[in-house]
Structure 1
Amino acid sequence: MSDKKINFPILDICTLSETRDEDFLVSRFGAYLERHKNLHHAHRHSFYHLVFFTQGAGFHTVDFSNFDVKPYQIYFMIPGQVHSWSFEGPIDGYVVNFSEEFFQSFLLKAEYLANFSFFNNIAQDSVINLSFPLNQKVKGFFEEILEQAQQKQPFAHDMIKSLLIQMFIAIDQQTITEKPKNIPQFNYTLLKNFQKLIEKHHTTLKLPMEYAELLYITPNHLNALCKEHLGMQAGEVIRNRIVLEAKRLLVNKNTSISEIAYYLNFADNSYFSKFFKKHVGASPEEFRKKI
């Protein structure tokens, strides 16, 4: 990962929590909105963020993809993603925020959460409409989590973690049932590792051959895997992640285009602008104005 730094506004949990708990927050969503009315603007978090709607309409945006708000819809966000919302009429449900460290002492697998399909950094996979009876089961999980948080009994945080994991598994099992993966396990593991490497190195490694070397496979093998199972070549997967990071950084108007180009390791501002316009259809300045 590049050691270049960009300073942009990121919300942390203690900014949003009345209890100043730096690792966890749970609230009914209507009350959360009342306390934080300015959160409709595009922003990014330093924590995991999930919202389960039980009432409401309008839309919300995750990493620049728009989704209609519906009752019994849940969305999941990982640290670094950008989102905003615009609601119509009464809105309610539940919100849970937790830090990257929240589960570390509880789970032996440091990257356990990355196994869930909705924590894969792809906006389209992170918004799920829950059908009956799962939506009622998930609602029950949130009620239990609220109760545990309010009572503050011994082991309350461990109980909350247990309830969250049970909920994640129940939702992911529905997602897997609805979207069967006809892909051999070895190929699936390779693609997951490729995506993890892109997350780690997209500011410094731009070529498929560099990732293929880290995966101990040939560039042709990597391209064939991506084309068969993702519908695009490896180079496009890498470029899409670079474009997404550029869009996220453009949300902060205090960061200059040249600073973003430098952070993403482009040779100069002009080359970055040409790259961005080619893949987005608008210059960085035009895209920023639209936001």
Structure 2
Amino acid sequence: MKTRQTRTSEAQPITMVYDMPSVLPPGTTPVSRLYYEDWNIKVVDREKTGCDNYLTPNRRDFYKIMFMTSGTGVKTMGKNNYYIDERTILFLHPNEIVCWRNTSPKAGGGIFCMFKKRYLDQHPSLKLIIDRYKFFTEKKILRLSEESARMVHSLLTQMKAEATTGNPLAEEAMQAYVQLILIESLKGTDYAPVGEITNDYRHVYDFFELLEKETNLANPDNPIRMRTAKEYAEKLNLNPNYLNGLVKKHTGQPVSTLIKNRLLEESKALLVQTNWTLQEISQIIGFADQPNFSQFFKRYVGVTPNDFRRSPISPDYEG
């Protein structure tokens, strides 16, 4: 097996999501937005579900522990690139803008553990460990020893089995496993970034950061005001065509489509997570009246806002 130093020196900068082969249908964007689903904690087997290239530009309401057992890739977190291989564990904060690019021929293996913010609030002892040792903030990517990697893999496997029991105390037990995983990970070593992102990607990052800032605090007193590519380009002091070209190069879709998708996902979240009326949500999203909002929502989601609120459409987990 190659050493970490050799692999790092061979790692080449990857600036576009579409630089690597994708199992997604042609023209399908790898932009993933999932934060309105109703669960507290879950474990996903990466080897079974796979992991294609993806970008998560919007806030999530969950923390994510990502443990790699095989394969390689480049993880962009914030404004840094990290070269990832086996025995690496990542701690992804809900507010982090994240992009993943596979660099191995096949998607690698591993296990994901995700838990909601509310789950952390319900378990003060877990929150204490995270805060004390600065997981998800200063400790984001750790390279584990072989012994620690085996232990973490075993704990995650046991945790996954616990999740399938249906026992009413399963979630309590799972948070204990998370604490053990965090403690075992402290035996790892900080993993340094490969390098900063390109200037092109920096503009893409700034766009998504601004889009998220505009939408994630939306409420009846603070409705969304920017809804066009031109408005975002002006705010970023960029030519609209230039910004659109960069964003399309990195994600496969134009700025207008990404804004539309973000408005739809915020609409879904507000419908599921609040008891605000359709008129209030319409105004928050930026529509002058509720019929136009309902028409917009049904056109792209396939059901009316009321139908979605009664029975949320929950997509399969990606990435």
Question: TM-score normalised by the shorter chain: which range applies?
Answer: 0.5 to 0.7
Q: 165, 172, 179: which is aligned to 1:158?
A: 172
CA contact (8 A) 1:13 1:25 kept: no
- What is the alpha-carbon distance in structure 1 between the residues aligned to residue 125 and residue 155 of structure 2? 23
- What is the alpha-carbon distance in structure 2 between the residues aligned to residue 13 and residue 145 of structure 1? 23
> Offset at 1:101?
0.8
Is residue 2:15 matched to residue 1:51? no
> Offset at 1:164?
0.1
Deviations 1:86-119 (A, max 9, x none): 2222411101111101122221686653333331
> Offset at 1:158?
0.7
Counterparts of 1:90-105 in structure 2 under 5 Å?
A: 90-105=107-122
Q: 31, 34, 57: which is aligned to 1:11?
A: 34
Segments of structure 1 that go 5 or more residues without pairing to the other structure are 1-7, 15-20, 180-242, 262-268, 275-282
2:155 aligned residue: 141
Deviations 1:17-65 (A, max 9, x none): xxxx52122021122337xx5x623434331112111111232222242
| Counterpart amino acid of residue 130 in structure 2 | L
Task: Mark the CA change 1:50 to 1:13 in structure 2 (over 3 Å): closer, same or farther.
Answer: farther
- What is the alpha-carbon distance in structure 2 between the residues aligned to residue 51 and residue 109 of structure 1? 17
Q: Secondary structure at the match of 2:121?
A: coil
Task: Mark the CA change 1:32 to 1:251 in structure 2 (over 3 Å): closer, same or farther.
Answer: farther
Segments of structure 2 that go 5 or more residues without pairing to the other structure are 1-30, 193-202, 213-225, 251-319
- What is the alpha-carbon distance in structure 1 between the residues aligned to residue 227 and residue 244 of structure 2? 12
CA contact (8 A) 1:51 1:96 kept: yes
- What is the alpha-carbon distance in structure 2 between the residues aligned to residue 92 and residue 26 of structure 1? 14
Q: Which has the higher helix share?
A: 1
> Offset at 1:161?
0.1
Q: How many residues align?
A: 193
Task: Mark the CA change 1:90 to 1:273 in structure 2 (over 3 Å): closer, same or farther.
Answer: closer
1:211 aligned residue: none
CA contact (8 A) 1:25 1:96 kept: yes
CA contact (8 A) 1:116 1:168 kept: no
Counterparts of 1:1-291 in structure 2 under 5 Å?
A: 10-12=33-35, 14=37, 21-33=38-50, 40-44=54-58, 45-87=60-102, 88=104, 89-107=106-124, 113-120=130-137, 125-175=139-189, 246=206, 248-249=208-209, 256=228, 269=234, 273=237, 288=247, 291=250
CA contact (8 A) 1:59 1:69 kept: yes
RMSD (CA atoms)? 3.8
TM-score with structure 1 setting the length = 0.54
- What is the alpha-carbon distance in structure 1 between the residues aligned to residue 113 and residue 231 of structure 2? 33
- The structure showing larger relative contact order (alpha-carbon pairs under 8 Å, at least 6 residues apart) is 2
CA contact (8 A) 1:249 1:260 kept: no
> Offset at 1:73?
0.8
CA contact (8 A) 2:42 2:113 kept: yes
CA contact (8 A) 1:13 1:99 kept: no
